[in-house]
Amino acid sequence: MQNNIYQVLENLSIPYKRIQHPPVFTSEQARRLVPRHSAKAAKNLFLRDKKGKRRILLVVEEQKQVRFADIENQIGLRHLSLASEASLQQFLGITPGAVSLLALINDPEGRVEVLIDRDLWQGDQIQAHPLVNTETVILSVADMAKFIAHTGHAIQFIDLL
């Protein structure tokens, strides 16, 4: 299921900056191990609803605290929780630590919903893992939107404090 994400970006004429670093699994580790850049860093969570019928990729500014109740109230769902590692592999074809918007390329059926914190989208550039947690790419927010459209996913914006 792994796509060559760099080939996809090049086919879409999306320029990017590629940064290699030690493996990171959390936002805290990324703050320590990924070289600083002016692009906004994202916290990416793969969620499921209580019945396991809906899968959600939640992407917020990495320093924001995520409270599931805030998200549930905005999107009309109850009992959100983190999805399992097996579910992450099944739906996005990646492992923990590699979660990012770029993983949507591995969901051609559009089974994963995309929720993005509006504040994250206000910057010029965004950081994302290119299907692995040992690299980070930087691209413009406009180009990320172009990429997401290419995958066939729609973005639903939310507002987190």
- The CA R_g of the chain, rounded to the nearest whole Å, is 15
Cα separation, 103 vs 93, whole angstroms: 7
Please tell me the predicted confidence (pLDDT) of residue 3.
Answer: 60
Cα separation, 154 vs 82, whole angstroms: 21
> Domain ranges in the chain?
5-158
| Beta bridge partner(s), residue 157 | 116
Token pair, residue 39, equals: 């692009």
Cα–Cα nearest to 101, from 114, 111, 87: 114
Cα separation, 119 vs 99, whole angstroms: 19
| Beta bridge partner(s), residue 46 | 57
| Beta bridge partner(s), residue 155 | 114
Token pair, residue 48, equals: 């499921």
Please tell me the predicted confidence (pLDDT) of residue 1.
Answer: 41
Please tell me the predicted confidence (pLDDT) of residue 87.
Answer: 95
Contact 81, 48 (CB under 8 A): yes
Query: Is-above-0.85 flag for pTM?
Result: yes
Domain 5-158 has CATH 3.90.960.10: yes
Taking CA 129 as the corner, what is the angle to CA 124 and CA 134, rounded to the nearest 5 degrees? 130
Residue numbers of the chain with a pLDDT score lower than 50:
1-2
